[in-house]
A and B are shown apart, each in its own frame.
Chain A
Amino acid sequence: MPDATPTTPNPAERPASPAMIEVKGLAKSFGSVPAVDGIGFTVRRGEVLGFLGPNGAGKSTTMKMIAGFLTPSAGTIRVCGVDIADDPIGVREHIGYLPEGAPAYPDMTPREFLDFCADVRGLKGARRRDALDVAIGRAALDPVLDQPIETLSKGFKRRVGFAQAILHDPPVLIMDEPTDGLDPNQKNEARNLIRAMAEDKAILISTHLLEEVGAICSRVVIIDRGRLVADGTPESMLARSRHHNAVRLVLDGADAVAAREALPRIPGVERVEEAASEDGATAFVLLPRDGGMIVADVAEFVRDRNWRLRGLTVERGRLEEVFRALTTHDTAGADAADTAAGGAP
């Protein structure tokens, strides 16, 4: 039970984990251009919230406001119950923030840099040593501790940023594209690190890698043009996909002609798409009506006709498709908006 801390005054009042980040009606404009336009969401302890959206949707701006770098134009942000407008510095003590690209002072070594962060965070004595040891250990920085940061590889630079963000064991972690630009192994390391920390923290990460959402996020928020367009678990997002519960059926080429004609008649099948054929086999994708479960019917249908089955898989849905459907708009409208905002053609 992550929320059953001994200091909780009345656990009965708190059925769910405590809300660590509460954002309401958040807005930010730069000049007359709105970057974030009325976003609201909550992140609870134990959650990893994935922030999805096209470039320029307002992900980074939102994170910068929660981290205290930017001042909101409107709306409220509460972190660990403290309103950022009441105590902007106090709120930052609860947050570990990894800005986009993990900036760090290039002339410093990771040791000096983390020492500086510990100084600023007011860590002293044994606590400070422990904090440094844990952060350096978790980020696996030992081999490069005394090399200038500017000479480090991208992966190590990112780890320096991680170590900085988790140094004071903050209850809230905000990471802007933590795996961007890393190689697949490094991405995996970063995700493991985030997963390991997820249990007792509230974590907000932004990404435009859709596979990352399934890998680490317990909830997803999609924003587009400064507005929130979807909020739910990865599963509920997948359920919006046309391919949710779709069946991929691979049949021997000899049965393809009959199947092409007969498959659309299976009850519950909305549409049949034919995928590429190879090795004398033909693949069909059967899309269900209203996301219904059709796999049993399909299997039975195939068996009844004695078709030679080469493969049968159920799709969970395609996040990419949901993402595209929620964030694509006709470009003519977008161009018109740009022109209206004073942009040169």
Chain B
Amino acid sequence: MSVAERTAETGPAIPHRGGFGRAYAVFKRELAGYFTTPLAYVFIVIFLFLAGIFPFYLGAFFERGQADLKAFFLFHPWLYLFLVPAIAMRLWAEEWRSGTIELLLSLPVPLWAAVVGKYLAAWVFLAIALALTFPMWLTVNYLGHPDNGVILAGYLGSLLMAGAYLAIGACLSAVTRNQVIAFVLTVAVCFLFTVSGLPLVLDFFSGWAPPTLVSAIASFSFLTHFNTIAEGVVDLRDMIFFLSLIVLWLIANCVVITWRKG
């Protein structure tokens, strides 16, 4: 017997909605939540400050004498490495700590909808922060004639990479009720994903591991995939790499929550 039939006898009928409507309710709450606390503003200011200052002081933006944003995108992986975990750490850890997870998961919201709603809200928030770097784009267009297609690709790659960092952070914040632990864990895992293509990691394996394993490890590097996109080469494989990583970590996120509930 369906719920709808039963409600006629035993209680008020409540319009049945799909998981997407509920995911949207969670998304809306989360996104609004960023802007009711100073968190959003502090984060955006710091992100814009660092994203703006690195290219000039460390990236030799002017000295390169080229009208492009390579020097700008170059630092994004390192910026995200610390800033995205700061956004991700509260996603689930805070729910565990305050006990609201019990409320959230006993509302008629499927687990996946809660996970996706929260994740998308954080991702959209990062997208807003990233979009606010548009003065950089205006600057290069004022100074010269950049290839705006390449710049667009750079933004796309940057957003995808931020999403991948965020998915890792979301999953790991479900592991603990302590935000600091979530942050440290996430930075550590994100760091491994970031540098896995660099000699720092590969040298450790290349001495003894079979070459296929070494190249497999190297292929997980965010840097490699991001740099390709940032060069303006929008390769479907790089997009799929980030998107599938996001999906996998979100599935892991659901699994972690189910397992921790008991």
Contact = CB atoms under 8 A, between A and B. Distances in A.
A164 B100 CA distance: 12
A160 to B, nearest CB: 11
Interface string B101-141: 01101111110000000000000000000000000000000
Contact of B103 (A81, A94, A104): A104
Contact of A92 (B6, B26, B106): B106
B12 A121 contact: no
Chain B contact surface mostly = helix
Contacts, number: 123
Interface in A169-188: 169-172
Interface string B1-35: 11100111111101111000110111011001100
Contact of B33 (A30, A107, A168): A107
A106 interface: yes
Contact of B106 (A8, A81, A82, A97): A97
Contacts of B1: 81-82
A108 B33 contact: yes
Given A70-B261, A82-B1, A99-B99, A120 B10 contact: no
Interface residues of B, number: 38
Instruction: Among A9, A18, A101, A103, find the residue whose CB has the most chain B CB atoms closer than 10 A.
Output: A103
Nearest to B100: A103
Interface of B: 1-3, 6-12, 14-17, 21-22, 24-26, 28-29, 32-33, 36-37, 98-100, 102-103, 105-110, 261-262
Contact of A94 (B2, B11, B26): B11
B108 A105 contact: no
| 10 tightest Cβ-Cβ pairs between the two chains A and B | A171-B11, A103-B99, A90-B3, A119-B25, A92-B108, A67-B106, A80-B10, A122-B17, A99-B102, A116-B29
Interface of A: 5, 7-9, 18, 20, 28, 30, 45, 64, 67-71, 80-82, 87, 89-95, 97, 99-101, 103-108, 112, 116-117, 119-124, 164, 168-172
Instruction: Among A94, A95, A119, A120, find the residue whose CB has the most chain B CB atoms closer than 10 A.
Output: A120
B29 A119 contact: yes
Contact of B102 (A5, A64, A93, A95): A64
Contacts of B37: 107
B103 A99 contact: yes
Contact of A171 (B2, B10, B28, B98): B10
Contacts of B99: 99-101, 103
Given A112-B32, A119-B25, A87 B3 contact: yes
